[in-house]
Structure 1
Amino acid sequence: MKFSARNQVKGTVKAIHEGAVNTEVVIEVAEGVELVSIITNGSAKALGLEVGKTAYAIVKASSVMVAVD
């Protein structure tokens, strides 16, 4: 698997919340650190997502905002 996106984070599917149209996928990338994605129900099924399964969060954006306190 190769992607042009540089921000690829491997993790474990912690939770899957299926809605009427979309599915929320929670991926734990480190202890206490989670990334959440909203994907279509069809995509979730096609990927065969299951809690405990390894998955990758791949971030591709033209801009990323940074903030500090």
Structure 2
Amino acid sequence: MGSTVLSLRIDGELLDRLRGHAAKRGMSVQDYVLRTLIRDDFDERFKAAVDETEKFYGRASEPEPLT
């Protein structure tokens, strides 16, 4: 798998916030943004897989609330 360059133009305030989040994790801004994108992509693919499974097997009935 090769790599490609993605260039972004972002607000200075957002960049400062990203720097802070990345610094808390000991990461560069680039690594922090990449990890966030990967995590979001995984979440989307996981949700799609769950939706497909529920369509295939039928949605499980909702449990009755405890009173």
Note whether the superposition's TM-score is higher than 0.5.
Answer: no
**Bigger proportion of residues as strand:** 1
Q: Which has the higher contact order (CA 8 A, sep 6+)?
A: 1
Q: Which structure has the bigger radius of gyration?
A: 2
TM-score w.r.t. structure 2 length? 0.29
**Bigger proportion of residues as helix:** 2
TM-score w.r.t. structure 1 length? 0.28
